[in-house]
Chains A and B, each alone.
Chain A
């Protein structure tokens, strides 16, 4: 690239202007995203926060949110990885359709998602009617909370996982298989470690979406303290009577999400380092094979 061609380079005056503009744009977005959260925190006094945390809704909601999001994370990540792998390995019209269909829950407004879940698993639902005959009732239970979370959050993970698997260097796969690894072993020892950073950040996004899930839960699982009232529902409930408590619970939600996302991000970064070493090892083997 020549001196004038570096489009973000700081060598030319145009480059400097571009750099300044991009910094301004970045700061504007950052400020816009963070200001409401800062406002939420600074307008809540310490006394409000303490009183809010002692609100009777908080503890059961916190416990329920941690439990249900953990379960739904497992239910998303394990089958989600399998689904993403299959979609990438068998590219074609059908898998394109499936891949698009999997994204639909992101677009559907959550309350409509909740209604759809009721129409599927409710008493008169497509599947629910048969389940009811065996005495199984899903709506208004903790299981319904988990299902709502899986429904809205799985697309985020599947999207990240398919993108990660698609970026895999096919040579890695060929080398592993040619060295005698079974497909399963090659997947576990090669594909998974290399894709791990993206899988972890996809899982983090998906988990965060579960934690914040509100509309589908309210419709499908209802709002009952200790059974179906997760943190977002507790915030909404408190909003009706006690704004301070609502703010305090929101802060709890924000702090937990921030802490866990940070940990996951570090995990992703660490495994990215590991995978990089692995990748260079594998490609050097590939070089050997070519010689």
Chain B
């Protein structure tokens, strides 16, 4: 019995101690699109060594969800969105200002290695027996449909229709698209390049031709309500600077720099 009391007391003490340690640190809360997990983790580590006493909390979720949380008063310092629409929503409401483009992510075609019919290019996609795509409600699904639209101009008017006839599921999460291709249950799907950097031989990655592809644009902005704007600005600089860009490139992102905006390129 006494032993238990000691254990509980020790646990309580360590919890209280941890709480105290955290209180003496300044926390900076970064809301980032789920695909930014790895690069933001790397950038956060370096950021904490450069700014002693600062603790970076990275909150990752779908951009739509993060934007909704910020709308409902979530205390974030920085918001990094995977699509322009969710950032634009917050700009319009005056919650953030001057978003900056910092990375781009190219959709790619993923194909199961045991596909009965070989799919070596986007043009071959309608030959797949089972295709899984992102639903039109989520960003990857919107990009995918835009890609199919553009591909129809190149490969024939009925290209999109022929692909859609083979679609067996409209997933609400890009990871689910990848999972179904990795399991070999779907022959092909369209995901972001960053989703496949860590995937081994489960899937074959097929490039989508540049003229047809629609690149996702990631933008970042400091919240007007951020308590320490200078520190938040420093995070944005760290992400945009050479080290941040190297971390993003390692995860499969394209540089943010000069980009063709989605509207202009059509």
B138 A223 Cβ-Cβ under 8 A: no
Identify the closest chain B residue to A140 (Cβ). Answer: B168
CB distance from A132 to the nearest CB of B (A): 10
Interface residues of B in 154-199 (CB under 8 A from A): 167-172, 176, 180, 183-186
CB distance from B77 to the nearest CB of A (A): 26
Interface size class on chain B is 10 to 19
Q: Return the CB mask of A56-92 against B: 1 if under 8 Å, else 0.
A: 0000000000000000000000000000000000000
Q: Which residues of A contact B176 (CB under 8 A)?
A: 218-219
Identify the closest chain B residue to A224 (Cβ). Answer: B169
Interface size class on chain A is 10 to 19
**Taking the complex as formed, is B104 at the interface, i.e. its CB lies under 8 A from any CB of chain A?**
no
CA of A288 to CA of B137, assembled, Å = 71
B185 A223 Cβ-Cβ under 8 A: no
CA of A225 to CA of B169, assembled, Å = 9
CB distance from B186 to the nearest CB of A (A): 8
A237 B183 Cβ-Cβ under 8 A: no
CA of A218 to CA of B183, assembled, Å = 15
**Taking the complex as formed, is B64 at the interface, i.e. its CB lies under 8 A from any CB of chain A?**
yes
B172 A222 Cβ-Cβ under 8 A: no
**Taking the complex as formed, is A139 at the interface, i.e. its CB lies under 8 A from any CB of chain B?**
yes
B135 A139 Cβ-Cβ under 8 A: no
CB distance from B26 to the nearest CB of A (A): 35
CA of A91 to CA of B64, assembled, Å = 54
CA of A236 to CA of B169, assembled, Å = 14
B138 A240 Cβ-Cβ under 8 A: yes
B171 A222 Cβ-Cβ under 8 A: yes
**Taking the complex as formed, is A118 at the interface, i.e. its CB lies under 8 A from any CB of chain B?**
yes
Identify the closest chain B residue to A240 (Cβ). Answer: B137
CB distance from A64 to the nearest CB of B (A): 14
CB distance from B111 to the nearest CB of A (A): 14
CA of A218 to CA of B168, assembled, Å = 11
**Taking the complex as formed, is B30 at the interface, i.e. its CB lies under 8 A from any CB of chain A?**
no
**Taking the complex as formed, is A167 at the interface, i.e. its CB lies under 8 A from any CB of chain B?**
no
A222 B184 Cβ-Cβ under 8 A: no
CB distance from A17 to the nearest CB of B (A): 32
Which one of A124, A223, A236 contacts B183 once the chains associate, using CB atoms below 8 Å? A124
Q: Return the CB mask of B35-50 against A: 1 if under 8 Å, else 0.
A: 0000000000000000
CA of A124 to CA of B132, assembled, Å = 17
B169 A240 Cβ-Cβ under 8 A: no
A237 B172 Cβ-Cβ under 8 A: yes
Q: Return the CB mask of A99-128 against B: 1 if under 8 Å, else 0.
A: 000000000000000000010001110000
Q: Which residues of B contact A218 (CB under 8 A)?
A: 176
**Taking the complex as formed, is A178 at the interface, i.e. its CB lies under 8 A from any CB of chain B?**
no
Q: Return the CB mask of B125-169 against A: 1 if under 8 Å, else 0.
A: 000001010010110000000000000000000000000000111
Provided the pairs A240-B135, A240-B137 are in contact, do residues A223 and B169 lie with their beta carbons within 8 angstroms?
A: yes
Q: Which residues of B contact A140 (CB under 8 A)?
A: 130, 168-169, 185-186
A222 B168 Cβ-Cβ under 8 A: yes
**Taking the complex as formed, is A228 at the interface, i.e. its CB lies under 8 A from any CB of chain B?**
yes
Q: Which residues of B contact A221 (CB under 8 A)?
A: 169
Q: Return the CB mask of A155-199 against B: 1 if under 8 Å, else 0.
A: 000000000000000000000000000000000000000000000
Q: Which residues of B contact A123 (CB under 8 A)?
A: 184-185
Q: Which residues of B contact A219 (CB under 8 A)?
A: 176
Identify the closest chain A residue to B170 (Cβ). Answer: A223
CB distance from A137 to the nearest CB of B (A): 8
Which one of A118, A122, A237 contacts B135 once the chains associate, using CB atoms below 8 Å? A237
Q: Which residues of B contact A238 (CB under 8 A)?
A: 137
**Taking the complex as formed, is A43 at the interface, i.e. its CB lies under 8 A from any CB of chain B?**
no
Identify the closest chain A residue to B141 (Cβ). Answer: A240
Q: A222-B170, A223-B172, A224-B170 are in contact. List 20 more A-B contacts (CB 8 A).
A: A118-B185, A122-B185, A123-B185, A124-B185, A139-B185, A140-B169, A140-B186, A218-B176, A219-B176, A222-B132, A222-B168, A223-B135, A223-B169, A223-B171, A224-B168, A236-B172, A237-B135, A237-B170, A238-B137, A241-B137
Q: Which residues of A contact B (CB under 8 A)?
A: 118, 122-124, 139-140, 218-219, 221-225, 228, 236-238, 240-241
Which 5 residue pairs across A and B have the least CB separation, nearest first? A222-B169, A240-B137, A140-B168, A241-B137, A122-B185
> What are 15 A-B interface contacts by the 8 Å CB criterion?
A118-B183, A122-B185, A123-B185, A124-B184, A140-B186, A218-B176, A219-B176, A223-B169, A223-B172, A224-B168, A236-B172, A237-B137, A237-B170, A240-B64, A240-B172
Q: Which residues of B contact A (CB under 8 A)?
A: 64, 130, 132, 135, 137-138, 167-172, 176, 180, 183-186
